[in-house]
C-alpha cells in the first residue's frame, strides 16, 4: 500500500482505533497499520492511545496486552521518547493501577534504557510507597529481576533497598520477593 492509501485506511477507522486495538482479533490489524503509518500520523495515534489509557478505558487488565505488544514491537526510539514525555506526569496513576501496570513493566523491560530512565528513576525514588501497594508489589517483583541484569540500576536499587531495610522490603504484606 502507498502512504496515501495507509492514511486513508487509518482515517476510516481512527474514531474506533482504540476499540479495535483492544479487540481480541482486530488488534493485529491495528498493530500492522500502526507500523506502516507515517511518523506524523503515528504521533496522532500515540496521543489518542495514551489519552484513552490515561482515562482507563480498558475493559480488563488483558485489554492492555495488545497495546503492550504494539509498544514492544512497533516503536522506534523516537516513538518511545514521545510516549515517555506524554506519560511522565501520570506515572503515579499508571503505577498504582492494576490495568496499566503491565504497560509500565513493558516500558521498563522493552524500551531503550536511555529512554526509559525517567520511569526507572520514578520506581526507584518511590520504591518504599510502591512496595506497600498490592499493584506495586508485582511491579517491584519484576523490577528486582530487571535490576539484576541491568548494571545501571543494580547499585541504585541496592542503595534504595538498604535505605528502606532489607527485611521490610522483602517481606511486604503482599508477599515475599
Q: Are 97 and 58 in contact (CB under 8 A)?
A: no
- Residue 82 is predicted with a pLDDT of 93
- State the pLDDT at residue 142: 80
Hey, CA dihedral for 107, 113, 117, 121, is it positive or negative?
A: positive
Beta-carbon-side half-sphere exposure of residue 63 (alpha carbons within 13 Å): 18
pLDDT given at position 115: 92
* Tens digit of each residue's pLDDT (9 = 90 or more) over 134-167: 777 778 778 777 777 776 666 777 777 777 666 5
Percent of the chain residues past pLDDT 70, beyond the cut: 85
Contact present, 147 and 155 (Cβ < 8 Å): no
- For residues 42 and 6, is the Cβ–Cβ distance under 8 A? no
**Does 122 or 71 have the greater pLDDT score?**
122
Closest CA to 49 of 16, 81, 96: 16
Separation of alpha carbons 64 and 9, rounded Å = 23
Q: Which residue has the higher pLDDT, 82 or 101?
A: 82
Q: Tell me: pLDDT of 169 over 70.
A: no
Indicate the SS3 state at residue 74: coil
Instruction: Give DSSP secondary structure letters for 131-146.
Output: HHSHHHHHHHHHHHHH
Tens-digit pLDDT profile for residues 32-79: 899 899 888 899 999 988 888 877 655 555 567 778 888 777 888 999
Identify the pLDDT of residue 18.
Answer: 86
Mean pLDDT, the chain, as a whole number?
81
pTM for the complete prediction?
A: 0.78
Residue 12 exposed, middle or buried by CB count within 10 Å (0-12, 13-18, 19+):
exposed
Amino acid at each position: 500500500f502507498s502512504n496515501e492509501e495507509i492514511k486513508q485506511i487509518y482515517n476510516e477507522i481512527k474514531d474506533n482505533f482504540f476499540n479495535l486495538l483492544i479487540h481480541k482479533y482486530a488488534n493485529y490489524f491495528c498493530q500492522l497499520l500502526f507500523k506502516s503509518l507515517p511518523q506524523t500520523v503515528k504521533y496522532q495515534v500515540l496521543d489518542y492511545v495514551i489519552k484513552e489509557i490515561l482515562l482507563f478505558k480498558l475493559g480488563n487488565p488483558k485489554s492492555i496486552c495488545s497495546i503492550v505488544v504494539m509498544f514492544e514491537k512497533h516503536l522506534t526510539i523516537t516513538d518511545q521518547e514521545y510516549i515517555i514525555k506524554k506519560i511522565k506526569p501520570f506515572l503515579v496513576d499508571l503505577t498504582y493501577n492494576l490495568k496499566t501496570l503491565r504497560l509500565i513493566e513493558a516500558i521498563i523491560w522493552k524500551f531503550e534504557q536511555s529512554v526509559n530512565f525517567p520511569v526507572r528513576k520514578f520506581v526507584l525514588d518511590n520504591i518504599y510507597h510502591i512496595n506497600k501497594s498490592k499493584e506495586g508489589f508485582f511491579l517491584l517483583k519484576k523490577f528486582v529481576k530487571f535490576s539484576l541484569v541491568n548494571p545501571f540500576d543494580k547499585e541504585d536499587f541496592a542503595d534504595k533497598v538498604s535505605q528502606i531495610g532489607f527485611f521490610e522490603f522483602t517481606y511486604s504484606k503482599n508477599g515475599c520477593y
